[in-house]
Amino acid sequence: MRIMAIDYGDARIGLAVSDETAILCGEAWTLTEWNAERAADTIVKEAISRGVGRFVLGYPKNMDGTLGARAEKSESFKKALETRCDIPVTLWDERRTTIAAHEILHANGKKMIKHRASVDAVAASLILEGFLGTLK
């Protein structure tokens, strides 16, 4: 079963899909969409076309573990996905994934100005990697 990780943002959404064995990240990309309803529609279509059996949605908790406005947006987006399909959605603590994604891009020689195009896809890959690590 393939698993799709989602790093949900207001304008850009990072997506990463595992291989069929749910061991490795198979592909990652960024969706640019400001409208949450259209984003949910697009993500569900992408998931169905790839045979995804579970969503893992980044859940941005504060560093002290409390929930803020970004977490509420993720909870709302979770509901939007659930109303469109029967694919289960797991909320996943994504603290520090965007920071780690920037560090990875910087370590690989990417200029900070170029990070915007791929940082969300890298963050989604990190969310996926963290979740897959709990399955074994």
Q: Which domains does the chain have, with CATH numbers?
A: 2-135 (3.30.420.140)
Cα–Cα dist 128/15, whole Å:
9
Q: Is the pLDDT of residue 103 over 80?
A: no
Residue with tokens 């560090």: 103
Q: Is the pLDDT of residue 37 over 60?
A: yes
Residue with tokens 């709990």: 134
Mean of the per-residue pLDDT values for the chain?
87
- What is residue 73's predicted lDDT score, i.e. its pLDDT? 94
Token pair for 102: 């920037």
Percent of the chain with pLDDT over 90: 54
Query: Model-level pTM greater than 0.75?
Result: yes
Q: What are the pLDDT digits (tens) for 86-101?
A: 999 999 987 666 666 5
Q: Is the pLDDT of residue 25 over 60?
A: yes
Strand ranges, E, within 11-129: 12-18, 25-32, 52-59, 89-93
Cα–Cα dist 128/112, whole Å:
23
Q: Is the pLDDT of residue 36 over 70?
A: yes
Q: Do 121 and 13 meet the contact criterion of CB atoms below 8 Å apart? A: no
* Cα atoms found within 13 Å of the Cα of residue 53, Cβ hemisphere only: 7
- What is residue 113's predicted lDDT score, i.e. its pLDDT? 56
- What is residue 11's predicted lDDT score, i.e. its pLDDT? 87
Q: How far is CA 80 from CA 31, 39, 54, 75, 116, in A?
A: 16, 9, 15, 9, 26
